[in-house]
Chain A
Amino acid sequence: MILELLNLAWIFFKIGLFTFGGGYAMIPLMESELVSRNLIDLNTLYDFIGIAESTPGPIAINMATFIGNEAMVQYGFLARILGSIVMTTAVALPSFIVILLIASLGSKFLESKFVEEAFKGLKPTVIGLIISVSVGLMIRLVFPLIAFDTLTFDFSVFNYQSLIIFAVLIAIMLKWKKVSPIKLILISAVLGMIIYSIL
Chain B
Amino acid sequence: MNKPHHLFELFWEFFKIGAVTFGGGLAMMPIMRKAVVEHKNWVNDDDILKILVISESTPGVFAVNAATFIGYKIGGFMGALAATLGVIIPSLITISIISFFILQFKELTLVSYAFYGIQVAVGLLIFKAAIKLSKKIHFDAFAWIVLISSILFATFTNINVLYLLLVGAILGIVYGMIENIKEVKKA
| A and B: interacting chains | yes
Residues of A within 8 A of B (CB): 14, 16-24, 27-29, 31-33, 36, 43, 46-47, 49-62, 65-66, 69-70, 73, 80-81, 84-85, 88, 91-92, 94-96, 98-100, 102-104, 107, 110, 113-138, 141, 148-149, 151, 161-162, 165-166, 169-170, 173, 180-182, 184-185, 187-193, 195-197
Q: Is there an interface contact between A126 and B133, defined as CB atoms closer than 8 Å?
A: yes
User: Chain A residue with minimal CB distance to B118?
Assistant: A50
Task: Answer whether A98 and B60 are a contact pair too, CB < 8 Å, given A47-B115, A130-B130, A131-B130.
Answer: yes
A-B contact pairs, 5 of them (CB 8 A): A47-B106, A110-B58, A136-B155, A169-B121, A182-B23
Which residues of chain B are within 8 angstroms of A195 by Cβ–Cβ distance? Answer: 113, 117
Interface residues of B in 119-151 (CB under 8 A from A): 119-130, 133-134, 136-137, 142-144, 146-151
Task: Answer whether A123 and B137 are a contact pair too, CB < 8 Å, given A58-B61, A66-B99.
Answer: yes
A98 to chain B, nearest CB (A): 5
Q: Is there an interface contact between A22 and B58, defined as CB atoms closer than 8 Å?
A: no
A93 to chain B, nearest CB (A): 9
Cα separation A113 to B173 with both chains bound (whole Å): 9
Task: Answer whether A138 and B147 are a contact pair too, CB < 8 Å, given A61-B92, A69-B95.
Answer: no
Q: Is there an interface contact between A84 and B129, defined as CB atoms closer than 8 Å?
A: no
User: Chain B residue with minimal CB distance to A63?
Assistant: B95
Task: Answer whether A184 and B95 are a contact pair too, CB < 8 Å, given A60-B24, A123-B137, A130-B133.
Answer: no
Which residues of chain A are within 8 angstroms of B90 by Cβ–Cβ distance? Answer: 56-57
Q: Is there an interface contact between A61 and B91, defined as CB atoms closer than 8 Å?
A: yes
Which residues of chain B are within 8 angstroms of A51 by Cβ–Cβ distance? Answer: 95, 98, 102
Cα separation A180 to B98 with both chains bound (whole Å): 21
Which residues of chain A are within 8 angstroms of B147 by Cβ–Cβ distance? Answer: 124-125, 127-128
Residues of B within 8 A of A (CB): 18-26, 28, 50, 54, 56-65, 68-69, 72-73, 77, 80, 84, 87-88, 90-92, 94-96, 98-100, 102-103, 106, 110, 113-130, 133-134, 136-137, 142-144, 146-151, 154-158, 160-162, 164-165, 167-173, 175-177
Q: Is there an interface contact between B118 and A189, defined as CB atoms closer than 8 Å?
A: yes
A185 to chain B, nearest CB (A): 5
The 4 closest A-B pairs by CB, nearest first: A192-B117, A121-B172, A128-B150, A125-B168
Known: A19-B60, A92-B61, A193-B110. 19 other contacts (CB 8 A): A20-B59, A49-B126, A51-B95, A55-B95, A57-B63, A95-B64, A96-B84, A99-B68, A99-B69, A99-B72, A99-B80, A100-B72, A126-B165, A129-B154, A130-B126, A131-B151, A138-B123, A149-B155, A180-B23
